[in-house]
Structure 1
Amino acid sequence: MEISPEMTDTLIQKAIELAYEVVPRIIYALVFYFVGKFIVKRVLKSFNKILAKRDSNPSLNIFLSGLAKVLLIACLFLGVLAILGIPVSSFMAVLGAAGLAIGLALQGSLSNFAGGVLILLFKPFKVNDVVTAQGHTGTVKRIDILYTHINTFDNKEIIIPNGNLANSDVVNMSTQPTRRADLTVGVAYGTNIKKAREIILGIFEKDERVHKDPQPVVFLNNFGDSSLDLVIRAWTNAETLWPVYFDTMEAINTEFENNNIEIPFPQRVVHQVKEEA
């Protein structure tokens, strides 16, 4: 098939018209891209400085910085496509479908991700807090975007998915400056409860770690099978709770021995009945 001079002129004319239409768009898109890239870098730099000044978790800073970067680059990319004349709505529809498919495939991980974001934003606990969660008690050592790492008191590392933490009860034992030590001690039936109470309160009176307001209290709580059960409550600083607890238990045992107050143990009375011949 031979190309006539008229057809050649037409093709050249259309090519020129297309060039007049496309080349400016390409130039504008390149200018928009490089200027936008410079602006994105400056914005991210300023944003990271603001995050560094905040008293927040490093994992949260990394996540927020990464999220801001993705959003800004996505906006820049969509702007370039719009300048080039590419339908952005179709591109967004493809991205939405792809995001839905990925979300269905990664439901568990996305749940942990969302839980990590909530924990890092609302801070129900932070690093070095002592917490009880998912049946484990220990010190929070690291909070990642997907998992929280807890060291138990016997030095085992527990890794808990953030999705579970965000949707369950967490007991934080480090938020309050003071805590109450609750002890239960049994004494034998026939013991003078008033004397036992005075001995226990005398132990607290000598311990400077125990707060005088609220005052320590000792109550008769229960008539047990083998003992009269005393409930003992005393307030102290959070960091001295367990030393006060263990020292008080030992001191009570010593003082009860010195004052002949019996701490009973479970026992049974057996009556033997002899049948007549």
Structure 2
Amino acid sequence: MTAILIDGFPPTEADLHYLALVNYGAYTSFRVEDGGVRGLEHHLGRLDAYAVALFGEPVGEGALRAHVCAALSDRRDAWLRVSLFSPEIWSRTPSARVRPRVMTSLSAPPPPLATSVRLQVQTYAREEAHIKHTAIYGLIRARRLAREAGLDDALFADADGVISEGSSWNIGFLSGDTVVWPQAPMLAGVTQILIDRGLAGVGMTSVTRPVRTADLDAFDGAFLCNSATPACPITAIDGHAFQTSPEVIERLAAAWASNRPEPIQAR
């Protein structure tokens, strides 16, 4: 069961009416582990930046932490999505500058996306790619089309073959002990940030540069990552097969795990 609160209270009929009709907002989601969250400051920081970008006013880190604590109550392990919206914004009246409302959705932690994936390249880019916004029609449609084609998920690239991100995750390519992160309009995921921060501790480094579909032969492997999936090997992109080393995936997971969960309590 998913438990939903809006500004700390159960949603009203008016809240649900608005949310059913208007898809304007942003969110972040993460796993709660023994009362803490890996990369919590990044999650809350980007959510407050989204509040300013989309609504004109911040929520504030202290208020966001308080809403997370209220959603969790006495739970120590969970999956939490924190979303921003405002019933003052409609398609005909979009101009309100307002502090957004905060919706929390609490559920059991999900399993990782997969233990390995085969990807279909699709020419696509999310609107406002640097924002984790709620307009996810294109993402669901992309994953659906990939599965109808007999693959697992979709990898996005532009018309020139420059790779950006996946349907709900970031991608990294492997060249020896170096992770190559694509440089393109995309969402810099918190899990990507945490892996990158921990690479030195597992004897690896990283670079960020444009990666094209024509470059795939140059890499030893590839992986995807998001908050539910620290590192998952990619076994194929279209017709190109990868033999991604399990040992490297373990090192990437260790780099992520080196970032200890941060306490949630309001400061």
**TM-score strictly above 0.5:** no
Between Structure 1 and Structure 2, the one with more helix by share is 1
**TM-score, normalisation: structure 2:** 0.19
Between Structure 1 and Structure 2, the one with more strand by share is 2
**TM-score, normalisation: structure 1:** 0.19
Q: Report which of the two structures shows the higher radius of gyration computed on alpha carbons.
A: 1
Q: Does 1 or 2 have the higher relative contact order (CA < 8 Å, sep 6+)?
A: 2
